[in-house]
Amino acid sequence: MSQLDDKINQHFAGLVVRKDLVKTVKGNAIVPSYVLEYLLGQYCATDDEATIQSGIDTVKEILRMHYVHRNEAGLVRSTIREKGRHKVIDRISVSLNDKADAYEAEFANLGVKKVLIDSATVKAHPKLLVGGVWCLADIEYEFNDDKNVSPWILATLKPIQLSHFDFDSYVEARKQFTTDEWIDLLIQSIGFNPQLFGKRNKLSQLVRLIPFCERNYNLIELGPKGTGKSHIYSEFSPHGMLISGGEVTVPKLFVHNSTGKLGLVGYWDVVAFDEFAGKQKRVDKALVDIMKNYMANKSFSRGVETLGAEASMVFVGNTDHTVPYMLKHTDLFDPLPEKFHDSAFLDRIHNYIPGWEVDVIRGEMFSDGYGFVVDYLAEILRSLRNHDYSDRYQHLFTLSSEISTRDRDGINKTFSGLMKILFPANDATDVEVEDVLRQAIEGRKRVKDQLLRIDATYPAVHFAYTTADDTVKEVKTLEELEFPHYYHRTVASDTDDFAVMPVASANAGAPQQPTAAQSSNDSPRHLAAATTAVAAATDAQTPLREAHIVFVENQRGVNFDKLFGPYLKEASQITITDPYVRVFHQLRNLMELMETVARNKASEEEVNVHLITVEDEFRVEQQTDNLQKIAESCAGVGIQFTWEYDTSGTRHDRDITTDHGWKIVLSRGLDVFQRFEMNDAFSFSNRMQQLRPCKEFNVTFVRV
C-alpha cells in the first residue's frame, strides 16, 4: 500500500474499502456501486489481505445467493415458493392501490408486483414511493384461493444504506490530512487514480459532488462522450436519482395534481438528467417553465398550491462540436434542446463544468487504492446540507460590484459546496480559500459569458474580486485564454468583428511580451488582451524579447517549435538542465525538443546539445540506453547530443541555456504535458503537441 493508503486506514478504519474490489465482486450483476460497497464495507473494510479475500468470497456468495438477475427471476420465484421464504437484493418501488386502500411493492428484477407492504415501512422509507430503492428484503410466498389476494408477502425490508455515522469524528480525522492528501482520498473514493489527474481536473471531479451537499444547487456539464459525467449520479449515492432527460414529465418531477403525489424533487437530494443534450429532442414547454421557477425560488406550483423542495438539479449531456467551433458559430450551450436553450432557464444554473477538459475514462484511470465506502461519504455529504459556508471568504475578499445577485448566488453556492467537501472544519488557509473562490467564480462566469452571447439584454460583467490590500484580481475561463478571438463574440457581433489579440495559446505557445493593462471601462472582448498579456515574438522581423508566460492546467496550444524555437535558432551550443529526464514520457519530451532544434538549424551547420540530468535509481540502464538512442538519432541530422548524470544530488535547476545569450527558465522542465496515449498511432495528441492538455507551468526568457 502507499503511504496515503496507510494513513487512510489508520484514521478511517472500517469506513474505507479498496476500490478495485468492486470490479472483483460485481461480475455481471447490474447493480450500483454503492450497493456493492455497502456489502464490501460489511466484510472488507480493512487492510488485512486475508480478511479481504475472505470478505470477497462472502460478498460473492451473498450476491450469488440473493441478487436477482432478470434472466433468472423465474428460478428465484420458484425457490421462494418451494422454501416459503427467501432473502433477495433488488430494487423495490411502492405504489398506493387506492381501490384496495393498501400499499403494494414491486420488485424490479424479480418481476413480482402487488406485494403487500405495511404503512409503517412506507412511512419510514418514503423514497420507495418515488423511483424505488435498492433493498435487502425477505419475501414470502403463501398461496390463497382468493384470486384478488397476492401470494407474495414482504416480511422484512432494509434499504441498502448506512444506518449511522459520527460526523465529529469525520471532521477530526480530516485534520490529519494535508489538503492534497484529502483531495486524493476523495478522488480515490470516487474510484479514480489521483496520480493520473492534475489539480484542476481533480477539482472538476469534486464539483460533481456539490449537489449532494448543497441544497437547490443547479449544475450543468457538457462534454465529449465517455468522460464519466453521469457516473456519480447513478452509482455514487442512494440519495441521487438519474433519469433520462427526455423521459421526465411535470407530474413525475414535481407533483401530480389529481393525486397530490409529490414528484422526484420532494424525495431525492439530487435529480440528474442524463443525455440532456440533443437539439431535436421534444421538450414540454410547461416543464421548462416550472423548472425555471423551481431553480430560482426553490418552489413550484401547478395551480393548486405552492410547494417547496430541496433537490439539486444536474444536467449532463454530450457535445457534438469542439469548443472553438461552438465559440465561433454558436455558444457553449449549443447542444441543448431548443426550449432549454433559453437565457432565463440558463441564468438559473450556478456552475458549468467544462466537460471537454475531462479525459475519456480509460482502464488505467481506475484506482486500486483505498477510499471511503461511498455510502459513508454520501451520508457525510448529506449531513453537510445543513451547513452554510458561503460567507467564509468575505473577510478576505470582496466580489466586484458589477457581479449581480444571481451571479453572486451561483458563486457563493459553489464556494460553499467546495469548502464543505475540502475543509469541513473550516480550517483552510487564505491561499486555499482564494483557490476555491476562483474555481467558483470561473464556473459561474462560464454560464454568464455564454448568456451574453445568447441574449443582448444582459449587461457585461467584470468577474473579479478585491483582496484585503485592495488588489483587484480578475478571473478568466480557460476557453477565454485559449480562444480570445471568439470567446467574447455576442449576438450583435459580426463574424469578422473580433479584436486581433495574439496570445500564448492562440499562437501555439509563442513567447510573448506583456502589454499594458487596459482601463476597467474596456469591453470584455478587449480585456482578454490585458490579462493574457502577451504579444507574438516569432516573426523573423521582430527582435526576441525577455518575457514570462504562465500556462494554466488543461490549456492546449503549446508546442516546442513556437515556444522554444525562436530562442534556439542560430545557437551552436545548447545546455539543458533538467533532473527529471528519466522515464519514457520525459525522454520522449527530450526527443521532441531535439526535433525542434533540428528544424531551427541550417542543414550545413551542427549544434552541440548537452543534457545534465539525474540518473533513475531504479532503471538507470534503461535510461542510459534511451539517451544513447537519442544521441545516435541526433548524429544523423547534425546534432551532437551528449549527457551527464549529476551525482551531487543538489541540482534542482530546470532551464535551457544557449551560447548566443538566452536562458529559458522552466518551472517544470520539459515535462509540461499531461498524460496521453503514447502507443496510439492514430491519436492526434500523440502526433501533435498543440493538441495535448498541459500541466500548470511557466516559462521565463532571460538575456544572459
Alpha helices in 32-124 (DSSP H): 33-43, 49-66, 73-83, 119-124
Please name the residues in contact with 246: beta carbons below 8 A apart, sequence gap of 6 or more: 275, 278, 281, 282, 283
Q: Inter-axis angle of helices 179-190 and 3-11, to 10 degrees?
A: 80
> Would you state the pLDDT for residue 163?
62
Largest CA distance in the chain: 101
Beta carbons within 10 angstroms of residue 14's beta carbon: 12
To the nearest 10°, report the CA torsion of 171, 176, 181, 186.
-20
Whole-angstrom distance, CA of residue 2 vs CA of residue 371: 12
Q: Inter-axis angle of helices 199-207 and 179-190, to 10 degrees?
A: 60
Whole-angstrom distance, CA of residue 366 vs CA of residue 372: 15
Per DSSP, the residues of 417-477 read: HHHHHH-TTS---HHHHHHHHHHHHHHHHHHHHHHHHH-TTSPP---EEEETT--EEE---
> Would you state the pLDDT for residue 492?
54
> Would you state the pLDDT for residue 600?
93
User: At residue 353, what are phi and psi to the nearest 5 degrees?
Assistant: -80, 125
Amino acid at 219: L
> Would you state the pLDDT for residue 490?
67
Q: Which of 383, 419, 374 is nearest to 189 (CA)?
A: 374
Whole-angstrom distance, CA of residue 94 vs CA of residue 115: 9
> Would you state the pLDDT for residue 246?
63
Q: Is 369 in contact with 22 (CB distance < 8 Å)?
A: no
To the nearest 10°, report the CA torsion of 112, 374, 19, 421.
150
Please compute Rg for the chain using Cα positions: 29
Whole-angstrom distance, CA of residue 337 vs CA of residue 653: 53
CATH 1.10.510.10 for the 547-703 domain, yes or no = no
CATH 3.40.50.1100 for the 166-383 domain, yes or no = no
Q: Which of 134, 157, 136 is nearest to 374 (CA)?
A: 134
> Would you state the pLDDT for residue 47?
81
| Strand ordering across the sheet containing 240-244 | 240-244, 270-274, 312-318, 218-223, 351-354
Report how many helices (DSSP H) and strands (DSSP E) the chain contains, helices first.
25, 24
Query: Which residues of the chain have a pLDDT value below 70?
Result: 162-164, 245-246, 490-542, 649-651
| Integer CA distances (angstroms), 586 to 279, 553, 589, 636, 692, in order | 43, 18, 5, 22, 15
The DSSP call for residue 262 is B
Which triple of cell numbers denotes residue 337?
A: 434542446
3-class DSSP assignment, residue 256: coil
3-class DSSP assignment, residue 495: coil
Whole-angstrom distance, CA of residue 691 vs CA of residue 508: 9
> Would you state the pLDDT for residue 493?
53
Q: H or E element: which one contains 413?
A: helix 405-422
Whole-angstrom distance, CA of residue 36 vs CA of residue 404: 45
How many angstroms separate the first and last alpha carbons of the chain? 47
Q: Is 372 in contact with 40 (CB distance < 8 Å)?
A: no
pLDDT in tens, 592-611: 999 999 999 988 889 999 99
Q: Which of 691, 651, 457 is nearest to 556 (CA)?
A: 691
Grid look-up 432527460 returns: 245
User: At residue 263, what are phi and psi to the nearest 5 degrees?
Assistant: -90, -165
> Would you state the pLDDT for residue 412?
98
> Would you state the pLDDT for residue 610?
96
Q: Inter-axis angle of helices 49-66 and 33-43, to 10 degrees?
A: 130
pLDDT in tens, 389-403: 999 999 999 999 999
Q: Is the dihedral of CA 350, 356, 362, 364 positive or negative?
A: negative
> Would you state the pLDDT for residue 274?
93
> Would you state the pLDDT for residue 133?
87
> Would you state the pLDDT for residue 515?
36
Q: Is 185 in contact with 5 (CB distance < 8 Å)?
A: no
> Would you state the pLDDT for residue 245?
67
Q: Which of 234, 34, 86 is nearest to 26 (CA)?
A: 34
